[in-house]
Chain A
Amino acid sequence: MPAELPLMLLGLATGFVFGFLLQKSGVARFETIIGQFVFRDFTMLKVMLTAIIVGGVGVYGIHEFGGKDLVIKQAQMDAVLLGGLIFGAGMALLGYCPGTAVASAAQGNRDALAGLLGMFAGGAMFAENFSYYAATLLKRHDLGKPTLPDLTGLPAWLFFAALIAVALPLFAWLERRERS
Chain B
Amino acid sequence: MLRFFCLRRWSPYATGALLGVLSWFAFATTGKLLGVSTALVKTVGMAESAVAPGHVAANPYFAKTGVKVDWEWMLVLGIALGAWTAGRLSGGEERKELPAMWESRFGASRGKRYAAAFAGGGLVMYGARMAGGCTSGHGISGSLQLAVSSWAFFLTIFAAAVAVSALLYGRGTSDAR
Residues of A whose CB lies within 8 Å of any CB of B are: 2, 7-31, 34-35, 37-41, 43, 46-60, 62-63, 66, 68-77, 79-112, 114-128, 130-131, 133-134, 137, 143, 145-151, 156, 159, 171
Decide if B144 is an interface residue (CB 8 Å cutoff).
Answer: yes
25 pairs from A and B in contact (CB 8 Å cutoff): A2-B68, A11-B30, A20-B85, A21-B82, A31-B176, A37-B162, A41-B177, A48-B139, A51-B16, A51-B19, A55-B140, A56-B20, A70-B145, A81-B131, A84-B127, A84-B155, A88-B158, A94-B124, A103-B80, A105-B80, A106-B87, A115-B118, A118-B121, A120-B44, A123-B41
Q: Looking at chain B's contact residues, is the secondary structure mostly helix, strand, loop, or mixed?
A: helix
The contact of A50 among B13, B24, B130, by CB within 8 Å, is: B13
Chain B nearest CB, measured from A108 CB (Å): 8
**How far, in angstroms, from A156 to B143 measured CA to CA in the complex?**
12
Number of chain B interface residues as a range: 35 or more
Best-buried of B82, B115, B124, B166 by chain A (most CB within 10 Å): B124
**How far, in angstroms, from A20 to B20 measured CA to CA in the complex?**
14
Beta-carbon contact of B101 and A72 below 8 Å:
no
Q: With A86-B130, A99-B136, A126-B129 known to touch, is A14 a contact of B26 (CB < 8 Å)?
A: yes
Could you mark each residue 67-79 of chain B with 1 if its beta carbon is under 8 Å from any beta carbon of chain A, else 0?
0111111111111
**How far, in angstroms, from A177 to B54 measured CA to CA in the complex?**
58
**How far, in angstroms, from A46 to B20 measured CA to CA in the complex?**
12
Beta-carbon contact of B116 and A35 below 8 Å:
no
Beta-carbon contact of A2 and B70 below 8 Å:
yes
Q: Looking at chain A's contact residues, is the secondary structure mostly helix, strand, loop, or mixed?
A: helix
Q: With A15-B74, A24-B10, A133-B130 known to touch, is A52 a contact of B144 (CB < 8 Å)?
A: yes
Decide if B119 is an interface residue (CB 8 Å cutoff).
Answer: yes
Best-buried of A56, A88, A105 by chain B (most CB within 10 Å): A88
Beta-carbon contact of A30 and B146 below 8 Å:
no
B residues near A90, Cβ cutoff 8 Å:
119-127
Beta-carbon contact of B71 and A106 below 8 Å:
no
Beta-carbon contact of B70 and A11 below 8 Å:
yes
A residues near B151, Cβ cutoff 8 Å:
148
Beta-carbon contact of A79 and B130 below 8 Å:
yes
Which chain B residues (42-85) contact chain A, with CB distance < 8 Å?
Answer: 43-45, 47-48, 59-62, 64, 68-85
